[in-house]
Amino acid sequence: MAAPLLFLAPSLVVVFAVLVFPIVFSLVVSGFKWPLSVGAGERAFVGLGNYVDLSRNPEFWNSIKLQLGFIFIAIPIELILGYAAALLLNREFLGARVVRTLLLLPVFFLPIISGMTWRFMLQPRYGPLNALLLTLGAPEITWLSDPTFAYLAVVVQDVWRMWPFMFMLLYAGLTSIPDELIEATVVDGAGFWRRQRSLILPLLTPTILTALLLRIIDALRVFSEVYVMTEGGPGSATLLFSLFANRVAFGYGEVGLASAMAIFLLVLSIVFAATLVRKNMSLDILEEKAGGR
């Protein structure tokens, strides 16, 4: 069957050809002590030494914990908000088109500028958020100085920026559901929640799952906005995985260690993907749910 190959060839060439060297490079380099600059010392083979170092490094496990927390807190919230907004805005009222397009602005916002703006908003003395707190009679909070609040702020920033992404995907999915199907359930006398459960959610499942997957792979790479907001601090309270990898690779100049982190993540993702496939998220099942017609 040559046909699928015809369609797949360009992507295979681009993605695998461009990425195969970097991945092999990471794998090989992860077995070395490999300084970022050749002037910083000799490269030395350390076998599994980097992996051992990582497993013994509390900062590494801390960054994983923070990263997972970030994913499991921010993404569900983004999904719920996006879903609610998609339902709300899936009708033609005055200015609907404008609202739907403008709502996407946070997703367009440059991450560095977003981080900078949030850092600005959260400052005491001149930050608008604290000004708001003061007018409400509440005390000023030094958000970014407190570990918990700083982490919260980082999560809120991501939710703020990316729930419109979920909205856009879910809305696009919703508009693909023929109106007659929805009206049929109304005629049947089905209430709002019943309609969601029996019709809309099942039809939207592939879109929701894809949206979740895409958000997760992006959330794993989150970097610029958090770096500008907190640099990983206070202490290591917001030192997410990419920030720690950045510190290791570009701060300490330890490319070997950073590569070990990448391979660690690669293995984790393979396990994750394999679990998904086994747990009935193989493509066949996804397609069945999409209507399998």
Partner 1 sequence: MKKAAVLAILALMTLAVVGAETINVLLWDDPYPKALQQMLPEFEKATGITVNIEMLQPPQVYTKTAVAVGKDSSDYDLVAMDEGNIPIFSSLMTPFSEWPTGKVYPKVDVKSVTPAMLDVGMWEGRLVGLPINGNLYVWMTRKDLIENPQYQKDFKAKYGYALGVPKTYQAMLDMGTFFNDRGIAAGFGPFNGGPAGVLGEAIFMWEGYGTSFIDFKNGKYKVVLDKKKATEGMEFYKKLMKISPKGAETMAHVERQAAFAADPKGVFSMFIWPAQIAAYEDPDKSLVAGKIIYSAPPAGPAKTAAVRGTWALGIPVASKQKQAAAEFAYWWASKDIAERLVEANTVPARTDALTDPRFAASKPWLAAIAESMKYATSRPRLKEIPQIQDVVKKYWIMGITGQMPCASAVDAIVNETNAILAKAGY
Partner 2 sequence: MNKRRRKFLRNLLIGIAAFVVLVVELYPIGITVLNGFRRDIVILSGRPFELSQLTLRSYALVLKNPSFLLGLKNSIEVGLFATLLSVAIGAMASYGISRYRFRGRNVLAYGFLIFRMLPQISLVIALYLMFKAAHLRDTISGLSLSYVSFNVPYVIWMLLPFFAAIDRSYEEAAMVDGCTPFGIFWKVFLPLAAPGLVVSAVFAFINSWNEFMYALILTGVNAKTAPVAINGLIGGETLTWGQACAAGTIMLVPVFVFTVAMQKFLVRGITAGGVKG
Min separation Cβ 204 and partner 1, Å = 42
Closest CA to 168 of 79, 77, 288: 79
Residues 23-42 that bind partner 1 (CB under 8 A): 36-41
Residue 37 interaction partner, one of partner 2, partner 1, none, beta carbon < 5-8 Å per kind: partner 1
Q: Using CA atoms, how far apart are residues 196 and 194, in angstroms rounded to an integer?
A: 5
| Six-digit token string for 134 | 């003061």
Q: Which of 133, 233, 266, 288 binds partner 1 (CB under 8 A)?
A: 233
Buried b (16+ CB within 10 A) or exposed e, 70-92: bbebbbebbbebbbebbbebbee
Nearest to partner 1 of 140, 288 (CB atom): 140
DSSP structural state of residue 33: E
Min separation Cβ 37 and partner 1, Å = 4
Identity of residue 191? G
Nearest to partner 1 of 164, 232 (CB atom): 232
Residues 237-256 that bind partner 1 (CB under 8 A): 247, 250-253
Compute how many other C-beta atoms are within 10 angstroms of the C-beta atom of residue 223.
16
Which residues lie across from 32 on neighbouring strands? 45
Residue 160 interaction partner, one of partner 2, partner 1, none, beta carbon < 5-8 Å per kind: partner 2
**How many chain residues are in contact with partner 1, going by CB under 8 A?**
25
Compute how many other C-beta atoms are within 10 angstroms of the C-beta atom of residue 23.
14
Closest CA to 158 of 102, 89, 230, 208: 230
Min separation Cβ 131 and partner 1, Å = 13
Residues 117-146 that bind partner 1 (CB under 8 A): 123-126, 140, 142, 144-145
Min separation Cβ 35 and partner 2, Å = 12
